[in-house]
Amino acid sequence: MSDRSCLAVILAAGEGTRMKSALPKVLHEVGRLPMIGHVLAAARQAGANGEAVVIGHGADQVRAAVELPAGASGRSPEVFVQTERLGTGHATLAARSAIERGYDDVLVMFGDAPLLQADALGAMRHALAGGADVVVMGFRTERPTGYGRLIGRGGTLTAIREEKDCSDEERLITFCNGGTMAIAGKHALDLLDRIGNDNAKGEYYLTDVVAIAHGLSLSVKAVEVSFENALGVNNRAELAEAEAIWQERKRRESMLSGVTLVAPETVFFSHDTEIGADTLVEPNVVFGPGVKIAVGATIHGFCHIEDAQIAAGAKIGPFARLRGGSMVMEKAKVGTFCETKKARIEPGAKVPHLSYIGDAIVGSGSNIGAGTITCNYDGVNKHLTEIGAGVFIGTNSSLVAPLKVGAGAYVAAGSVVTDDVPDEALAFGRARQVTREGRGKQLRERMARAKNKDEG
Ligand code: UD1
Ligand code: MG
């Protein structure tokens, strides 16, 4: 397919009012990626070498989401504005100047179909390469309400009829239009320019391309795909449905690549989650964006992990929260009720229980006692705590940053450490203990007497 050029026109100018949201519909997320991001990715995976996104008037948020920031590497899609919402055919023509450049294949896609897969697009492009002029993505459903019906005669597709324009008989058809259409580039503009608006909604329907092409004796084909490819999200219930299917796919994909999910239905991925083989993920784990896990790690139950790198053999949780910029290196451990942020836990280091480690480096092989907190924030600025290799931090210590604890140092339990600790030193940062012989007994007796007096 690589020898054929391909333009993907992605329509995203619809109002999406049923989302009842201040956010444009196509920016609602599935797998923590805006729906339009999934559509763009599928187009590129199917070999598109140009993308045109059609947005509505004032949809600057959509523009900002799809355009790469200045200086970033990669290709930004071209953005076109459909100034009036006059239908999908009209919206496609907003990208006229891109279509005019002349591609072999033109794919017209909808920005609210996040489950569309590259292989469905590939099958459509394959049909174009095989000589078809127009290819429609068809799917079968027992609940066709709302979809355009594929009308055929003797194996040829003759038209797509929108629900509102169907006869009673046509409405019974269960083979439906999944939305995406592939058009041979050499005919695309001519076909699109012939679309009229003589229908129940008075809109310029993209779907009329089928009847127009048939009338011109061009070859029109349908490629049948599964329902998910066609699933268009119009409200939040459908958004949740799309999310559920997407998570299912991702769980399966990761299990088939060698990851053990003990209870897959309780593990939630992001679009970019990467997990190496032989990693074990226990129940109830959420992966936010930006997580990379190497081979043979263990993620115990009830962890929330985002923007984190976890190296081979590391152990996380249960009940750990890894936030932005966390790096847990080979065989290191971040255990129960620990939170990390911008923290590098070097190989073999252990943060086993009840700690907050933020803006910090924990050197290799160091052990951080239960309840240790890095005091990284002074109310205005964040400061770094650097702990060298082989350090022992006693339990319930507060490490007040900026702070350096040298390699091999030892911090006594319960310390508030405000000054740097040199290599190999022992630091006490706590009040000296005072012990009074016999005073415990006296105190108890005095309290008991006072209580009796009150009650008598
Ligand atoms: C469309 C198809 C229908 C198909 C269904 C699949 C048409 C006429 N109908 O109907 O056959 O079964 O999708 O989900 O194409 N849009 C614009 N500008 C417009 C109108 C729409 O950009 O003026 C965009 C929307 O943002 C959306 C897409 O086009 O991404 C589809 O529009 P929508 O109104 O959802 O069409 P459906 O009625 O669902
Ligand atoms: Mg729709």
Which pLDDT value is given to residue 382? Answer: 98
Instruction: Judge whether residue 153 has pLDDT over 90.
Output: no
What pLDDT score does 1 carry?
Answer: 56
Residue 79 Cα to ligand 1 midpoint, Å, equals 18
* 452 found inside a domain: no
Q: 81 pLDDT exceeds 60?
A: yes
pLDDT value at 349 more than 60: yes
Of 202, 230, 258, the residue at which a domain comes to its end is 230
When the pLDDT of each residue in the chain is averaged and rounded to a whole number, the result is 96
pLDDT tens, 93-128? 999 999 999 999 999 999 999 999 999 999 999 999
pLDDT score of 154? 76
Are 107 and 245 contained in the same domain?
no
Ligand 1 site, residue 14, Cβ cutoff 6 A: yes
CATH number of the domain where residue 32 is located = 3.90.550.10
How many Å lie between the centroid of ligand 1 and the Cα of residue 404?
60
Q: Is 205 in the pocket of ligand 1 (CB under 6 A)?
A: yes
Q: The CATH number of the domain where 423 resides is what?
A: 2.160.10.10
- 214 among known catalytic residues: no
Pocket test for ligand 1, best of 53, 81, 88, 197 (most atoms within 8 A of CB): 88
Both 90 and 146 in one domain: the answer is yes
Q: Is residue 137 in contact with ligand 1, taking CB distance under 6 Å? A: no
Q: Please write down the long-range contacts of 207-212, taking CB distance under 8 Å and 24 or more positions apart.
A: 207/88, 207/89, 207/148, 207/160, 207/162, 207/177, 207/181, 208/89, 208/160, 209/89, 209/134, 209/181, 209/183, 210/134, 210/136, 210/157, 210/158, 210/159, 210/160, 211/158, 211/159, 211/160
Residues 271 and 225 in one domain: no
Of all ligands present, the nearest one to the C-alpha of 208 is 1
- Is position 206 within any domain? yes
- The tens digit of pLDDT for each residue in 22-35 reads 999 999 999 999 99
Domain extent at residue 165: 6-230
pLDDT digits (tens, 9 = 90+) for 423-435: 999 999 999 999 9
One domain for residues 221 and 250? no
Do 98 and 151 belong to one domain? yes
Please state whether 396 falls in left (phi above 0), alpha (psi between -120 and 50) or beta.
left
Residue 2 is predicted with a pLDDT of 61
Residues 16 and 54 in one domain: yes
206 and 295 both lie in a single domain: no
Which atom of ligand 1 is the closest one to the Cα of 204?
A: 8
Residue 97 lies in a domain: yes
Residues 287, 206, single domain; the answer is: no
Task: Establish if 435 belongs to a structural domain.
Answer: no
Domain final residue pick, 209, 230, 251: 230
- Residues 171-198 have pLDDT tens digits of 999 999 999 999 999 999 999 999 999 9
Do residues 111 and 133 both lie within one domain? yes
What is the predicted pLDDT for the residue at 70? 86
Report pLDDT for 375.
98
Closest ligand 1 atom number to CA of residue 110: 30
Whether 107 maps to a domain, the answer reads yes
Share of the chain above pLDDT 70, in %: 100
206 and 256 share one domain: no
pLDDT band at residue 455, thresholds of 50, 70 and 90?
A: confident
Measured in angstroms, how far is the CA atom of residue 145 from the centroid of ligand 2?
11
- Give how many domains the chain has, as a whole number: 2
- pLDDT band for 372, please (50, 70, 90 cuts): very high
**223 & 276 share domain:** no
What share of the chain has pLDDT > 90, as a percent? 95
CB 159 near ligand 1, within 6 Å: no
Tell me what pLDDT residue 155 has.
74
Ligand 1 pocket, 162 CB below 6 A?
Answer: yes
Given 205, 230, 255, the domain boundary residue is 230
Q: Which ligand is nearest to the CA of 202?
A: 1
Q: How far apart are CA 148 and CA 177, in angstroms?
A: 5
- Has residue 417 been placed in a domain? yes
**Residues 187, 304, 353, 383: which is the catalytic one?**
353
> Does residue 129 sit in the same domain as residue 15?
yes
Question: Per the domain annotation, does 436 fall within a domain?
Answer: no
Specify the residue with its C-alpha closest to ligand 1, atom 36: 88
